[in-house]
Structure formats: structure tokens, C-alpha cells
Amino acid sequence: MTKRTRLHSVDRYPANEAGGRDFAVGDIHGHFSRLQQALNAADFNPERDRLFSVGDLVDRGPESAQVLEWLQRPWFHAVQGNHEEIGVRYVRERSISAGHYTVLGGAWLMDLPAIDQMNIADALAGLPIAIEVETPGGLVAIVHADCPMPTWGLFIQFLEHSDVNHREMKDLSQWSRRRLEQADASGVPDLRALVVGHTPLREPAVLGNVYHIDTGAWLKDGSGRFTLLDLQTLETIPPMRGRLQWSD
């Protein structure tokens, strides 16, 4: 009864030694064609550049089933978002109802043959909660929604070593909007930058050293776009209008 599978917590990447660029991108939600267009516009070079996703690769958009293809690309690395977590729960535990999952954009998965559902659930379950990337300016970290502890080091230590309240900490890291709601600009002291998505914004928002980069490329009304954050320069493509620090 007490079967406990250790969470796949953190993947670590050394600095880009191919001389290329490292980008982070916000929530994709099944819009891989739009993502490819954004990469083309940035002259993304798959031989040298790397792309890190804040998660929520699937649901809502029309191309969610391409997720396995993208996860196999050697230059593409993603953390697990709350939508990946929900998909895994639907396939493995049925702990979310079909009706609820449909509302969240999961019909594409429910429509697939069981074997495909299981393969996708395996891939999504294997995604890390956090990614760390070394850059010349210091450590940059990526998580779907937030670092829910006072320091990154404490959070990672907790993810990797603690058995207590593990679930709650993971949920906070994938669901929290606290920093934006409270306009909390205190940042994460032991990182150069933390990059998150989860909350669609008209413009990227920087709160302290926390970069919120989901600019709603997946929104149905077409009002959004992908923002690519260069992890070495912390500049965005397209460029931010001014250097947006959050204000009220």
C-alpha cells in the first residue's frame, strides 16, 4: 500500500558548449506549428541552440499528439506542467473525470487508443519538475509555476530528499500564481533567474529575478504569441517593451 515511486525531480544541464544559444519558452498547449514559427523567426539552430520548455506542452491546442515527437528532439527539454500531471493522472489513475479533463482541453488524449495513451503518460510522467541550466552569468532554473520555498536550494533539497508533503510542494510548483497575485518581487536569492509559465500575460513580467514568460501563444482568440527568453542575455524575442518590472 505504501508503494512510493521517487519523483523525477530535477535535470541539470551544463553551459551550452556548442557555442549556441539557450532559450526558454512559455506554455505551448498543443501549438507546435506556432512554436516552430517562433523558432524560425529567431533563427533557431538545432545543431547548436537548445530550447527549454516551462511545461504545459499539451491540451487545448490542436497538435498535442505531437508531444512525443518533440520530446524526442535532442535540443528540446521540458519540465512537467500541471497539464502533463493531469494527463498522467487521467491515464493511470482515472483520478480526474473525463468531463473535467475535456473542459481542460484533454479530449485529444482520451480519443487516442489505450496503448498510445499509456505511452504518452509514460513520457509525461518522466519529465522533471525542475531544470537547472548553467549560464555564464550564473544558474538559471525552470519550473512550471513557482519555486514554493524561500530558496531554490531548499526547494531542490526538498524535492530530492524529503518524503514529507512531497505532493503538496510539487503541486505548488506546478499550480501557484502567488507571486503574480501578490506582486511579490522578492525573487529567488540563490539563482541568477527563475523562469516560469502557467499564467498567460500580455507581456512577459519580471518580478525580482523571476521571469514569467507565458504570453499566451495558445489563446484561442489569437491575441497571444510565443516569447523566447535567451538564458544567457535574459533578453526576449520579440523584445520586451521596456524592461518590464511588475507594477501593481
Applying CB under 5 A, the residues found at the interface with Mn ion are 56, 81-82, 198
- CB closer to Mn ion, 44 vs 108: 108
State the catalytic residue, choosing from 29, 31, 83, 144: 83
The three grid cell numbers given for residue 80, joined into one nine-digit string: 512537467
Residues 159, 163: Cα–Cα separation, whole Å: 8
CB of 118 to Mn ion, least distance (A): 23
CB of 73 to Mn ion, least distance (A): 22
CB of 29 to Mn ion, least distance (A): 9
Nearby residues of 30 by Cβ (< 8 Å), 6 or more positions away: 57, 58, 59, 60, 61, 62, 63, 64, 66, 67, 105, 108, 218
- CB closer to Mn ion, 82 vs 236: 82
Nearby residues of 93 by Cβ (< 8 Å), 6 or more positions away: none
Position closest to Mn ion via CB: 198
- CB closer to Mn ion, 42 vs 124: 124
83 is catalytic: yes
- CB closer to Mn ion, 44 vs 211: 211
CB of 48 to Mn ion, least distance (A): 29
Contact in structure between 110 and 101 (CB atoms under 8 Å): yes
- CB closer to Mn ion, 173 vs 236: 173
CB of 34 to Mn ion, least distance (A): 17
Residues 195, 212: Cα–Cα separation, whole Å: 6
Q: 186 vs 17, 97, 177, CA distance in Å?
A: 32, 38, 15
Residue 243 burial by Cβ neighbours in a 10 Å radius (0-12, 13-18, 19+): exposed
Active site residues: 83
